[in-house]
Structure 1
Amino acid sequence: MITGPLAFALHVLGAVLWVGGMVFAIVVLRPALGLLAPADRLALLGRTHKKFFLIVWHAMPITIASGYALMLTWYGGFAGAAWHVHLMHLTGLIMAGVFLAIFFGPWRAMRTALAAGVLPDAAAANDRIRQMVTVNMALGLLTVAVAAWGRFGG
């Protein structure tokens, strides 16, 4: 089991990749895509989702596993953890569930629609992805704020 500084570093790096990627996608990339024709926009989003979701498939389990390592070693288990750790645990698991719902739901539908050239269906699936990623981004930002606040005894 990983412990101490390595677990903490992996936990923070995983969170930065996951939450930072969502912020970039929603706040920066999405508005800039308005300059592209719908077919080009969907093609770019398909490639972007594919690459980002691959990152999340790695960052998510590393973040969760390192969080449990910290919980067990640093805090001595659930009973020794402060409120902010329990809230991070809850929101992290919810975020993982939302990601899985995105990946196996609208992302699968978008890939299928793009492969078939059915752009309206791909656009509808992408809109569901956007909505769900926005929810996950908000949860991620809340989690980061809770971690920072709670770390200093708030």
Structure 2
Amino acid sequence: MLYNLLKLTHVLSIIVWIGGMVFAHFFLRPAALQLPPPERLRLMQDVLRRFFAGVAVAIGLVLVTGLWMIGRVAKQAVQSGGSFAMPLDWTLMAALGIVMMAIFGHIRFALFKRLTRAVAASDWATGGQALASIRTWVGVNLALGVAIVAITLLM
């Protein structure tokens, strides 16, 4: 039962992260393009601040639940007299997940910081450049997230 609850938390956290990227990338951004740059950048900065806080929580939950589930399966294998070799799909999921987390760190702590400074200074050109960089890296993370889902479901 605990394993199932942890797996549910793991998957729901991933849904929040990937779903939020889909929403921001394909729905919010195109709609926000209709706003003048000062309004658009303020809106995106505020939305991303809130979203990134949620993603930080989701990442923590993904890490804790993922490591716990791997550890539990490994422990059961060893206790039953066998050995544990992590399946290839789990290895790919974990490795790509770590890459996604690193990219998120870059987005949140470098690019978003630039956006926040630009909005505070009413420097709309710099803010637009920062937002464009965020969009690019979110696109990369979204592609990696979709690849992880495909790998885990198709392998």
Q: TM-score scaled by structure 1?
A: 0.90
Deviation at 1:3, TM superposition (A): 4.5
CA contact 1:17–1:59 (8 Å) conserved in 2: yes
In the other structure, the counterpart of 1:19 is: 18
The partner residue of 1:117 within 122, 129, 136 is: 122
Task: Determine whether 1:45 maps to 2:50.
Answer: no
Runs of 4+ aligned structure 1 residues displaced above 6 Å come to none
Aligned twin of 1:147: 152
Tell me the percent identity: 31
SS state of the match for residue 80, structure 1?
coil
Distance 1:86 1:79 in 2: 13
Alignment of 1:27-106 (within 5 A): 27-76=26-75, 79-106=84-111
| Alpha-carbon distance in structure 2 between the residues aligned to 1:80 and 1:109 | 43
| Number of matched pairs | 149
CA–CA separation in structure 1 for the residues paired with 2:25 and 2:2: 34
Q: Secondary structure at the match of 2:33?
A: helix
CA deviation after TM superposition for structure 1 residue 136, in Å? 0.4
Deviations 1:41-81 (A, max 9, x none): 11110111101000011001111111111111135489432
Residue 3 (structure 2) aligns with: 4
Contact 1:3 1:70 in 2 (8 A): no
Cα distance between partner residues in 1 of 2:16 and 2:94: 18
Structure 1: 5+ residue stretches without partners:
none
**Contact in 2 for aligned 1:7/1:70 (Cα 8 Å):** yes
Larger radius of gyration: 2
Do 1:107 and 1:129's aligned partners in 2 also have CA atoms closer than 8 Å?
yes
Structure-2 separation of matches of 1:75 and 1:141: 27
Residue 136 (structure 1) aligned with residue 135 (structure 2)? no
Contact 1:95 1:136 in 2 (8 A): yes
Q: Distance in 2 between matches of 1:20 and 1:144?
A: 12
TM-score (norm 2): 0.90
Which stretches in structure 2 are left out of the alignment for 5+ residues? Answer: 78-82
Q: RMSD of the TM alignment (CA)?
A: 1.7
